[in-house]
Chains A and B, each alone.
Chain A
Amino acid sequence: MKHLDGNVLAGPAADLFAFEATTALGRCGACGDVAALAQARVYGPPMGYVARCRSCDSVLLVIVEHEGRATLTMRGLRWVRVDA
């Protein structure tokens, strides 16, 4: 299955974060690659957004939205950096 870019996270992330998430940098917990979340490979819509590392495919974050609720996990990111 072909993937989308992390740009598509912008909408769902707008409900979860106060900052613009797709330009935030993240470090992959598995391989250490540092990239903007916009550069992640996104699978899963419309069930959810599974953002995977562009380098090693490991899951960085998952957002599932339904019925007015959003569930987020970011376990695959060692850190996220946002410009103030």
Chain B
Amino acid sequence: MAVFGGRRRADDPDLPPGQYLTHDFPVLSAGPTPTIDPDDWEFSIRTETGGIHRWSWPELLALPSEDITVDIHCVTSWSKLGTGWRGVSLDTLFADVETGLDFVMAHSYGGYTTNLILDELLDGQAWIAYEYDGEPLAPEHGGPARLLVPHLYFWKSAKWVRRLVMQSEDHPGFWEQYGYHLHGDPWREERYA
């Protein structure tokens, strides 16, 4: 009698529970890849007082950037270790932002949304990333720029990010509305609500 085992999961201490290691980079999206002209591209942070902090594409690229190597974990169970990115830290982008609110909704070109806790985007935990593996970020992986928050499941790293909007409560974004966990910590296996 043959016994199905499925992919080896979580044999490796570097992998969160229930994850398996992949050497591919699977693509999963909730919609079609948006086409964004760099001349039209803009990233903004909006606060509760109506304040808008904006960066055009050249302005983003002119900011201090970091090369980082991180592990990423998808809720569909694949993990990719040691991925290389270049991006601008959200600490840099939030430097002059004044807000009394604790929560953020990330909005993407194409309409995708995901909710995050502001404290989890600061102190070196998140970036607006525009290069992957030494090359400009491909559109299917979120290019020209995506949010990168590697300590959470990768659906929180919104592709084609466009703006971060402060919110007074942790209102759910797209996948969270349909049953995915509001927080999404892979090490506590926070997959579903």
Asked if A64 contacts B179 (CB within 8 A), the reply is yes
Q: How many A residues face the partner with a CB closer than 8 A?
A: 20
> Which residues on B sit within 8 Å (CB–CB) of A69?
179
Q: Interface 1/0s, chain B 174-188, versus A by CB < 8 A?
A: 010111100000000
Chain B: residues with Cβ within 8 Å of the partner, total of 18
Chain B residues positioned under 8 Å from A48 (CB to CB): 175, 178
Per-residue CB contact flags for chain A residues 44-61 toward chain B (1 = under 8 Å, else 0) read: 111110101000010100
Q: Which single member of A45, A50, A71 contacts B31 (CB below 8 Å)?
A: A50
Main SS class of interface, B: loop
CA distance A66 to B177 in the complex (A): 14
Contacts of B178 in A (CB 8 A): 48, 62, 64, 71, 73
Residue of A nearest to B33 (CB): A1
Would B179 and A1 count as touching, CB distance under 8 A? no
In the assembled complex, the Cα of A66 lies from the Cα of B190 at a distance in Å of: 13
B179 with A66: CB separation less than 8 A: yes
**With contacts A50-B31, A67-B192 known, what are 16 further pairs, Cβ within 8 A?**
A1-B28, A43-B29, A44-B30, A45-B28, A47-B30, A47-B155, A48-B175, A50-B30, A57-B31, A62-B178, A64-B178, A64-B180, A66-B192, A71-B179, A73-B177, A73-B178
Chain A residues near B (Cβ < 8 Å) = 1, 3, 41, 43-48, 50, 52, 57, 59, 62, 64, 66-67, 69, 71, 73
